[in-house]
Amino acid sequence: MKNDPYARCLEQMFRLRRFGIKLGLDLIGTILDRLGNPHTRYRTIHIAGTNGKGSVAAYLSAILKCAGYRVGRYTSPHLERFNERICIDDRPIADDEVVDTYRRVRNVGDLDREPTFFEFATAMALDAFARHRVQWAVIETGMGGRLDATNVIVPQLSVITNISLEHKEYLGTGLAAIAGEKAGIIKPGVPAVCGARQAAARGVITARAEKMSAPLYFLGRHYRVRKKPGSDHFNYHGIHHKWRDLHTSLIGRHQLENAAHALAACDLLKNRGQLDLDRNTVARGLAMARWPGRLEIVMHRPLVILDGAHNLAAARNLARHLESSYRGRKITMVVGILDDKPFASILGHLARCCRKMIFTQPEIGRAVPARRLYRAAAAYNIERQIHVPVAEAVGRAIEAAGADEVVCIAGSLYVVGEAKTALSAWLPSRMTEDGK
């Protein structure tokens, strides 16, 4: 391992500071300038928001690929391997490309300060996309938007999925403050689509768009999706186009909204002459999109579902899905949560839809101790257990579950990542094709 260049470069990167959102964009701008400003060599779509960013990115990259474009996609965090963050045509870059791109960024040198992990990874992604000669890159913010390292780009279109309270120590303590950070990705004259529903958030985002002279379109007002009765298909009623009888590969009613944002982006870019696509291309892309770890079914007997549910809104969506889709079936929840999340409230939503909870914790140092989660759930009328590490918790849950029962692994994408690794090692013959 010590002689493995890939392992060495990742070790060096993971030693970098985790957050740098308050430090500004000067450093990432300097790095990219010295790399020849790779982010100016392709068109981009920029995505911010509290939930759904990755799903929207997955839809957009799949649609663009179906339309015949070469597409880069930058998302975070990864589930199992760093390479997942930087994809070309939906495939993670190879280990040797990670090493090569890492060295290119590291060799910039003579900087005012050490980059954060996210700044370093962002520079790597933007450089890799240029070297792969992508035509479009779909870029997800890491946190916030205004001072996020990804905000050095000037996109063709911005997407703000939704707004809820998160990362208050970095983004502010109220919806208006958080909305202001997310709205920071809106650039002069660049159209934006938005799923925020709260009046306070909409007001802040609207003010930013007006200041930037940027056309702004809201879900429910300018574009919408409607599910067809008795079917899992839906129709999109958009700004300039209507696309009927669509279907998404991703599970959950909340995915209809995520699909709507992706479709609105395509709608606007097509109307502006920046994208060449039709209804059939859009339909194929939605059906082909994959986004692991989000209501991902990886086994069937018992049914094993992976879902990050890493914040309060996501936990609420997961609980609704489990209650509506698996009513009457015994559900065991394997849960681990990070300490920057409102874990007591998250547990409240997850506990209402299961009969047993197994508390665990991922290897990352920011995990809430499993014992603390166990105590916090004492008020709920459910069976409780503690098993650490994640691999043991998953194994115990599956071994104890009957063939017709459900095991859901949730609370953090880090927990889901460790669970995927464990499942891949233990039960390859029982994994579904999507779970491999």
Contact by Cβ (8 Å): 226, 201: no
> What pLDDT is attached to residue 19?
54
> What pLDDT is attached to residue 43?
98
> What pLDDT is attached to residue 334?
98
Please name the amino acid found at residue 274. Q
> What pLDDT is attached to residue 112?
87
Domain shared by 281 and 365, yes or no: no
Share of residues in the chain with pLDDT > 90 (%): 84
> What pLDDT is attached to residue 412?
95
Q: pLDDT class for 171, splitting at 50, 70, 90?
A: very low
Taking residues 15-21, report their average pLDDT. 66
**The pTM is what?**
0.93
> What pLDDT is attached to residue 435?
43
Domain shared by 51 and 105, yes or no: yes
Per-residue pLDDT reduced to its tens digit, 257-290: 999 999 999 999 999 999 999 999 999 999 999 9
Contact by Cβ (8 Å): 115, 26: no
Domain shared by 274 and 301, yes or no: no
Domain shared by 147 and 58, yes or no: yes
pLDDT > 50? residue 170? no
Domain's final residue, options 288, 316, 336? 288
Domain shared by 258 and 307, yes or no: no
Q: Which domain holds residue 198?
A: 5-288
> What pLDDT is attached to residue 23?
58
Task: Tell me phi and psi for residue 239, to 5 degrees.
Answer: -75, -45
Domain shared by 227 and 130, yes or no: yes
Q: Look up the CATH number of the domain holding residue 242.
A: 3.40.1190.10
Strand bridging mode 216-218 / 192-194:
parallel
pLDDT > 90? residue 427? no
Q: Looking at the 3D structure of the chain, how many domains does it have? A: 2
Share of residues in the chain with pLDDT > 70 (%): 94
Q: pLDDT class for 169, splitting at 50, 70, 90?
A: very low
Cα angle 202-158-216, degrees, rounded to a multiple of 5: 45
Domain's final residue, options 254, 272, 288? 288
Q: Look up the CATH number of the domain holding residue 354.
A: 3.90.190.20
Domain shared by 272 and 330, yes or no: no
Strand bridging mode 303-307 / 296-300:
antiparallel
Per-residue pLDDT reduced to its tens digit, 174-208: 789 999 999 999 999 999 999 999 999 999 999 99
Give the range among 11-15, 23-27, 177-181, 346-350 with minimum mean pLDDT: 23-27
Alpha-carbon Rg for the chain in angstroms: 21
Helices (H) and strands (E) in the chain, counts: 15, 17
Tokens in use for 367? 């995990």
**Per-chain mean pLDDT for the chain:** 92
Per-residue pLDDT reduced to its tens digit, 293-343: 999 999 999 999 999 998 998 999 999 999 999 999 999 999 999 998 899
Domain shared by 152 and 33, yes or no: yes
How many CA atoms lie within 13 Å of 85's alpha carbon, on the beta-carbon side?
22
Domain shared by 243 and 203, yes or no: yes
In 107-226, which ranges are continuous DSSP H helix?
117-131, 168-171, 175-183, 199-211
Domain shared by 135 and 283, yes or no: yes
Q: pLDDT class for 173, splitting at 50, 70, 90?
A: low
How many CA atoms lie within 13 Å of 7's alpha carbon, on the beta-carbon side?
4
Domain shared by 300 and 275, yes or no: no
Domain's final residue, options 288, 313, 338? 288
> What pLDDT is attached to residue 18?
64
Q: How far apart are CA 221 and CA 173, in angstroms?
A: 27
Q: How far apart are CA 286 and CA 289, in angstroms?
A: 5
* Cross-strand partners of 385: 358
Domain shared by 179 and 40, yes or no: yes
